[in-house]
A and B are shown apart, each in its own frame.
Chain A
Amino acid sequence: DQQVKQNSPSLSVQEGRISILNCDYTNSMFDYFLWYKKYPAEGPTFLISISSIKDKNEDGRFTVFLNKSAKHLSLHIVPSQPGDSAVYFCAASTYNFNKFYFGSGTKLNVKP
Chain B
Amino acid sequence: EPEVTQTPSHQVTQMGQEVILRCVPISNHLYFYWYRQILGQKVEFLVSFYNNEISEKSEIFDDQFSVERPDGSNFTLKIRSTKLEDSAMYFCASSMTGADQPQHFGDGTRLSIL
CB-CB < 8 A to B25: which residues of A?
Answer: none
Report Cα–Cα, A92/B104, bound state, in Å: 15
Please tell me if the beta carbons of A31 and B100 are within 8 angstroms of each other in the complex: yes
A51 to B101, CA, bound (A): 10
Q: Decide: B48 and A95 in contact? CB cutoff 8 A.
A: no
Within 8 A of B (CB), among A34-83: 34, 36, 41-46, 49, 51
Q: A97-B56, A98-B48 are in contact. Are A45 and B99 (CB under 8 A)?
A: no
Chain B residues near A103: list those with CB within 8 A. 42
A44 CA / B106 CA spacing, docked (Å):
8
In the complex, per-residue mask of B13-40: 1 if CB is within 8 Å of any chain A CB, else 0: 0000000000000000001010100000
Q: A32-B99, A94-B99, A95-B99 known; A101 and B45 CB under 8 Å?
A: yes
Given A43-B4, A43-B108, does the pair A99, B45 have CB atoms closer than 8 Å? yes
State the B residues within 8 Å of A (CB). Answer: 4, 6, 31, 33, 35, 41-45, 48, 50, 55-56, 58-59, 91, 93, 98-100, 102-108
Known pairs A43-B108, A97-B56, A103-B42 / 18 extra A-B pairs, C-beta < 8 Å = A31-B100, A32-B100, A34-B102, A43-B6, A43-B105, A44-B91, A45-B105, A91-B43, A94-B99, A95-B98, A97-B99, A98-B48, A99-B45, A99-B58, A102-B35, A102-B43, A102-B44, A105-B43
Q: What are some 12 contacts across the A-B interface (CB < 8 A)?
A: A31-B99, A41-B107, A43-B105, A46-B102, A46-B104, A91-B43, A93-B99, A98-B56, A98-B99, A99-B48, A99-B99, A100-B33
